[in-house]
Amino acid sequence: MSAPPIPARKLRIATCSLAGCFGCHMSFLDIDDTLADLIDHIEFDRSPLTDLKHVSEEGVDIGLIEGGLCNRENVEVLHEFRARCKILVAVGACAMYGGVPALRNGIPVADLLHEAYLGANLLNPQVPNDPELPPLLQNVLPLHEVVTIDVTLPGCPPPAAAFRELILSQLQQRPMVLPPEARRFD
Ligand code: SF4
């Protein structure tokens, strides 16, 4: 049986990386041949591709966030995405659970800064204190601890096929069914 046609709609998508490594973005923005036929059905709002600093006030269809929350600016960005995205997606292990950055949880922030910036053998050691630097949170948090998340894409990073299914399911207005390779973690 042939695949159902893709409706002639366009989804407006915003993306950002909080406490992440951009690996999830690479998995999506690579737009490999798994995603190539969807390119006419997507337009980007805030994302590293457009360099827009905010999600459009009129809102977007899908917000994709990689990375957890490690500082106060991350929390502000997350609230803006929640307010302006119809469907908010936690993309990857860091957004869903905190991931690698959360390995610092349990160590006081003052000790982390001391180790990173005041350790031995550093030239002119000092903790950065520019007022534009957002203060660190005590712990790295997954997104769902601060706002409601509508969809999760598991993996580190999720495969392109998972992004494809997310977009197709929205275009075809049906439930998302993740492919098997997006549901295994070996
Ligand atoms: Fe990077 Fe993996 Fe975290 Fe995605 S889930 S931001 S690929 S470490």
pLDDT for the residue numbered 120: 77
pLDDT for the residue numbered 32: 63
Domain chopping of the chain, boundaries: 11-104+138-182
Mutate to test the pocket of ligand 1, among 156, 163, 185 (most ligand atoms within 8 A of CB): 156
What are 64's strand-pairing partners? 15, 89
pTM value > 0.85 = yes
pLDDT for the residue numbered 166: 95
Class of the CATH-defined domain 11-104+138-182: alpha beta
120 CA from centroid of ligand 1 (Å): 31
pLDDT for the residue numbered 25: 92
List residues near ligand 1 (CB under 6 A): 20-21, 23-24, 66-67, 92-94, 99-100, 156-157
Atom of ligand 1 nearest to the CA of 155: 5
Low-confidence spans in the chain with pLDDT less than 50: none
Mutate to test the pocket of ligand 1, among 15, 30, 64, 66 (most ligand atoms within 8 A of CB): 66
Q: What angle do CA 59, 143, 16 make, to 5 degrees?
A: 50
23 CA from centroid of ligand 1 (Å): 5
